[in-house]
Amino acid sequence: MLDREEPRGTGKHFIAPQSRAATPRPGTANGLEELATSLRLGQAEPGVVYLVGAGPGDPGLVTVRAARLVATADVVLHDLLVAQELLDLVRPEAELYDVGKVGDGRHVAQEDTNALLVRLAKEGRSVVRLKGGDPFVFGRGGEELAELLEAGVRAEVVAGVTSGTGALAAAGIPATHRLLASAVAFVTGHGHNDKPETGRDWASLAHFPGTLVFYMAVKALPTVARELMAHGRSADEPAAIVERGTSDEQRVTRTTLSELPRVARQAGVRAPALVVVGDVVGLGTALDWRALRPLDGRRVVVTRAGAAAAQLAGRLRSLGAIVAELPAIRTIPTGVELPALAGVDLVCVASPAAADALAAGLAAKGQDLRALHGAAVAAVGPGTADALLRYGIRADLVPARAVTEGLLEAIDAAGLTPQRVVVVQARGGRPLLADTLTARGASVTVADLHQTEPEPLTAEQLAELQAADAVLFASGSAAKAVAHALREHGADPAAALAQVRSVAIGPTTAQALHELGITPAAVADPHTPDGLVAATIALLS
């Protein structure tokens, strides 16, 4: 059986679906569904195999058609380097197979993959064969398509962004340039039988009037440099190696053709990587647009979970950060029934998770947002208001400060004097709102429909946490959960995070950190996700 945890063998294998650790992110499917509908994109059809390009690594470079097929297929067979965010789109009930290949010989044999594609399609399943880059650019997509058509299986090819253009763009190296290169050649670093010396017209490549882009050429670098120079390419011609292009871990090493092997060896260059030879590389870092992003190369840990974490992580990545998502807490229902809402003046929702719990509570009673008729709805902050809006509930009151105190100020400013109030919040949450409104004469019911529990930390997550430039806390419960997880590893929270700058979303979260012996390096103002991002930029840029 093959999955992510087990080593691959060599040759033929019995191929079984992977164990499924990841689940789709909340909200992702709905947004994709709307986009697919607006673009008139159909879903994966039974009995059809789709050879789909996953792009060079950045999930943002995948086509909408590809994402739609992945999200609707019965079975997905993927390569090793496909972005996890794309695999997270796979339906929980769908089967997921890892049929990737790596350069040291551990792989699933191509004939086994071909046979599996044919069998699954003939069973009437919709099948996506998800391939890094573009299926028809050094991806053996042509071979797989020929096998499928010969077996009488319907197939479709969905083009993807190949790394020869995607990774170069991310590195600020134009494949062509009006003054420097009017042509580009894509060349595989492997020849016949995986030998770099064979199957190459080195004389033609050496005299090619433009940019040379070599795929899968890390091991072949000495041969590539030697043969190109021997056939007339200048030893001083600019050259570069782009490792893990378009990803958070992208690294660009620049040198000359003659120095390529030595510089690569000294830099510890590893696959996957592209090798670029040509005058366009000589533009240097002048076009390195990624370096201008305010958080470029900074390592940031996000301790939120679910859709909120995905949105925050996406914003940080767009600013150049290397983001590790570490969901510190998980939300579980308490089993408490949503109280009757008839005659309620005000419903206060304390967090995005509380918004989810409110919607679930209404559904459990066979109700929808009409049950809120006659009640004003207050959200503690814009993040909570956005979460409510996903369920068709528009908050009447959203305070400028995303804390309980801010909500009380907003209630006063609006001149509200509610008589019957329902507060939807996590079990064990702050009693300030309920206590204050009760003291003012209101009848307050606290609906603790959900509670949070700390998520355990893996050793890998612990290492990511301690290696980060900053860790972002969006709630006091997240801070406490991280501290609990650190203690489970035998680490003192204050000592473990002594070299990591902590950023709190607001004063309540900052107070929770202080109580743990951790002094926040910054506190967001305003107390919103946008404020959290702004505080991180101010701290790290």
Active-site choice (3, 74, 88, 101): 101
Taking alpha carbons only, the member of 231, 232, 230, 235 closest to residue 262 is 235
Contact 70, 91 (CB under 8 A): no
The pLDDT value given to residue 49: 98
Helix (H) or strand (E) holding 494: helix 493-496
Using the predicted structure, report yes or no on whether residue 388 has a pLDDT greater than 50. Answer: yes
The single residue of 3, 79, 279, 345 carrying the catalytic annotation is 79
Q: In 32-174, where do the E strands start and end?
A: 48-53, 75-78, 95-98, 127-131, 154-158
Q: Which H/E stretch holds residue 116?
A: helix 110-122
Residue 147 has pLDDT above 90, yes or no: yes
Rounded distance, CA 266 to CA 282, Å?
Answer: 21
pLDDT tens-digit profile of 283-324? 988 999 999 999 999 999 999 877 778 889 999 999 999 999
Which residues are CB-contacts of 424 (< 8 A; sequence separation ≥ 6)? Answer: 347, 348, 349, 350, 354, 355, 357, 358, 361, 447, 449
Using alpha carbons, select from 429, 425, 422 the residue that is nearest to residue 448: 425
Same fold, 28-161 and 299-328+455-540: no
Greater confidence (506 vs 535) lies with: 535
Return the structure tokens found at 446. Answer: 């606290």
201 included as an active-site residue: no
Note if the pTM is more than 0.85.
no
**Across all residues in the chain, what is the average pLDDT?**
90
Angle at 178 (CA atoms; ends 176, 180), nearest 5 degrees: 70
The pLDDT score that the predictor gives to residue 193 is 57
Cβ atoms within 10 Å of 372's Cβ, excluding its own: 17
Domain 334-452 has CATH 3.10.20.740: no
- pLDDT value at residue 538: 97
Supply the DSSP symbol for 184.
Answer: E
pLDDT of residue 3: 39
Alpha-carbon distance of 4 to 513, in angstroms, equals 36
The total of other beta-carbon atoms located within 10 Å of residue 189's CB is: 22
How is the chain split into domains, by residue range? 28-161, 165-289, 299-328+455-540, 334-452
Q: Give percent above pLDDT 70 in the chain.
A: 92
Dihedral sign from CA coordinates of 473, 476, 481, 484: positive
Task: Give start and end residues of each alpha helix (H) in 162-232.
Answer: 163-171, 202-206, 221-230
Q: pLDDT, tens digit, for every residue of 330-385?
A: 889 999 999 999 999 999 999 989 999 999 999 999 999 999 999 999 999 888 89
Domain at 28-161, CATH class: alpha beta
Catalytic-residue membership of 134: no
CATH of the domain spanning 299-328+455-540: 3.40.50.10090
Order of all β-strands in the sheet with 299-302: 322-325, 299-302, 470-473, 501-504, 522-523
- Whether 196 has a pLDDT exceeding 80, the answer reads no
pLDDT of residue 535: 97
- For residue 138, what are its two tokens? 């050094």
With beta carbons less than 8 A apart as the criterion, state whether 328 and 482 touch: yes
Pick the CATH number of 165-289 from 3.40.50.2300, 3.30.950.10, 3.40.50.620, 3.30.70.1290: 3.30.950.10
Report the pLDDT value the prediction gives residue 4, as an integer from 0 to 100. Answer: 40
d(CA 177, CA 114): 40
